[in-house]
Amino acid sequence: MSDKCKTYYLTTPIYYVNDVPHIGHAYTTIIADTIARYSRLKGIDTFFLTGTDEHGQKIEEAARKRGKSPKEYADEISAKFKELWDEFEISYDKFIRTTDPEHIKGVQKAFLEMYKKGDIYKDYYEGHYCVSCESFVAPSQLVNDELCPDCGKPTRIIKEESYFFRLSKYQDKLLDWLKNKKPILPEAKANEVIRFVEEGLKDLSITRTSFEWGVKLPPEINDPKHVVYVWLDALFNYLTALGYGSEDESLVQKYWPAKLHIVGKDILKFHAVYWPAFLMSIGYELPKKIAAHGWWTRDGEKMSKSKGNVINPKEVADAYGIENFRYFMLREVPFGADGDFSEKALIDRINNDLGNDLGNLLNRIIGMAYKYFGGNVTSKDVEKYFSAELNEAREIVQNLEETYLWKMQIHKFLEELWKILSIGNKAIDTYKPWELMKNGEEEKAAALIGLIANLLAMVAVNLHAVMPKTTQKIAKALGFEINEESFKNIMQGKLLDDFTIEKIPPLFPKIEKPLMKKPEVKKEEPQNIITIDEFFKVELKVGKVVVAEEVKKSKKLLRLEVDLGEEKPRQIVAGIKEYYKPEDLVDTYVCVVSNLKPAKLMGMVSEGMLLAAKDDEGLALIRPEKPKKVGTQIK
């Protein structure tokens, strides 16, 4: 980011209120808070937005299960997010909720603008819909013909009237933006989005009639049974938070476009494809950067409620301190990669990085300053004796922002800072101040202590965005306060004024044993156990394939007609095209679930399901060992 930048607008995603905050939410928010604090320290007018996403079918259903209204349920969960961020002292400027009246007005304004432009039209949608992800899934993307490729949960087939956004209209403009402006960080993630767009964009269904919990269409359109698609609703929070759609849009003029949207990798497509297309439609400038981070596991395992290993960020912070937790999260994993949380790794970071490298270096010069010079520290002869070490540290500092921080390589930013601490520890071991004093080289010994103090000051002002309270303690011991002026002076190479170093307790007492309660590993109960009575409700019959043909426009489906000894053959649509040719199936016997509720696949009714087995070597139909009379029950 250029030093000429006057304003900096950054956002977290707005978190979906289907559950309480977890470590992934904390990770995203800590990253954003760190960038916001650093930006402010540089003197940049910064606006940091976070909040909650509260509409959609999933919220409506979750509330119903708990006997609450959607608004009551959303109020409860949204409050938990805000309370946690306040407890963590997250420095957000606004906490937005998609149930805020101002937000709803802004969404309706945007919808109407796109409608009047001709980018929204009315039609019918029929296809697979994932309630969990609140998104439609193309047939070619389904897993086993029904499962969502993102979350693995079963999709629903829905047919309903819908308004559509002409996403296909913006395909070329999106590709030009993605390829030439390179807005996605890390850059490796950009290739996935570019491939998605190049495969061809279809117009996007942007309203629902199957549930009510959402933003109603603008009154001017007069179609009250429709609510706005939750993702269109949610994405516009980045503009409505600044007053878009209100009488006062001065903050939009001041801060837009966003310099940085921080998101999880699972929602990158929505932010890097749908959102910029919406902005193009209403004539607004596109965001400068969209940064997508990875997911967290625990001790190498995916976190889940059933395993009882979901990490509550408050429990970690309560046990180890919020600032130690912040440091660990940002240092432990490269941005964009998946991370693994283990208590052992956290303890190692606290004891080694923070305790040994940082805290011990400060303790060493406090001890030496009082032993040799009554606590007085001077920078007078640092350049004279230790210009090589000083210049090496200055070079590291000058590269921190553009090379690492603004490119979201925060783990590398911290690694580079720790190289400055290494310079300090090495200098003490190399020059041995106790020997300098013994040999009468008091001036050089004083300069060495002054060198270490200045190295610690360089680290403190840059680490301040990650550990604000801890670094103010370090600065106070070194005779200064971290603020915009001191940051500027130290970054420009100015040395500390003479001061008397303050004795302070160790900042990072050594941790000898884990402090958190061990997760109660829940015994894995066998899944999907049914009784014998339930089993006998399933009717399995032998059938004979009399017709088999490919389903056009489908990579997976075949349309079969199967004789089950009934008045006419059953039509069964099966996802076996990759494993069987139609001509090889005709006149062969199959096993059929015959009392399954009919379902629609690619617009065709399927009146049963074939039994099959699938492993790494492919799929095979389950067949009777010998031909049997069609309609014979399998027992």
Would you kindly state where each structural domain of the chain is located, as residue ranges?
353-500, 532-621
Helices (H) and strands (E) in the chain, counts: 23, 26
Residue 125 contacts residue 159 (beta carbons within 8 Å)? yes
> Average model confidence (pLDDT) for the chain?
94
Mean pLDDT of 36-64: 96
**What CATH number is given for 353-500 in this structure?**
1.10.730.10
Q: pLDDT category, 553, cuts 50, 70, 90?
A: confident
**pLDDT value at 620 more than 70:** yes
Average pLDDT for 279-308: 91
User: How high is the pLDDT of residue 527?
Assistant: 57
Euclidean distance between CA atoms 266 and 270, whole angstroms: 9
Pick from 7-11, 49-53, 127-131, 247-251: least confident: 127-131
Under 8 Å CB-to-CB from 110, ≥6 apart: which residues?
232, 236, 239, 244, 245, 278, 282
Mean pLDDT of the region 596-620: 87
Mean of the pLDDT values across residues 244-273?
A: 97
Euclidean distance between CA atoms 244 and 221, whole angstroms: 20
Report the pLDDT averaged over residues 421-442. 97
- What's the pLDDT score for residue 521? 56
Residue 570 DSSP SS3: strand
Model confidence band, residue 524 (pLDDT cutoffs 50, 70, 90):
low
- Is residue 331 predicted with pLDDT exceeding 70? yes
Name the band, by pLDDT with cuts 50, 70 and 90, for residue 4: low
First and final C-alpha spacing in the chain: 70
Whether residue 127 contacts residue 73, with contact meaning beta carbons closer than 8 Å, is answered with no
- Annotated binding-site positions for Zn(2+): 130, 133, 148, 151
DSSP helix/strand/coil, 94: strand
What local confidence, expressed as pLDDT, does residue 520 receive? 66
Assess whether pLDDT exceeds 60 at residue 3: no
Binding annotation: 130, 133, 148, 151
Q: What are phi and psi of 143, to 5 degrees?
A: -100, 125
| Angle between the N-to-C axes of helices 23-41 and 70-87, in degrees from 0 to 180, rounded to the nearest 10 | 50
| pLDDT band at residue 635 under the 50/70/90 scheme | confident
Looking at 2.40.50.140, 3.30.1330.10, 3.30.565.10, 1.20.58.410, the CATH number of the domain 532-621 comes to 2.40.50.140
* Nearest Cα residue to 492 out of 604, 397, 610, 629: 397
- Asked whether this chain's domains 353-500 and 532-621 adopt the same fold, the reply is no
CA distance 576 to 557: 6
Tokens encoding 512: 């000898």
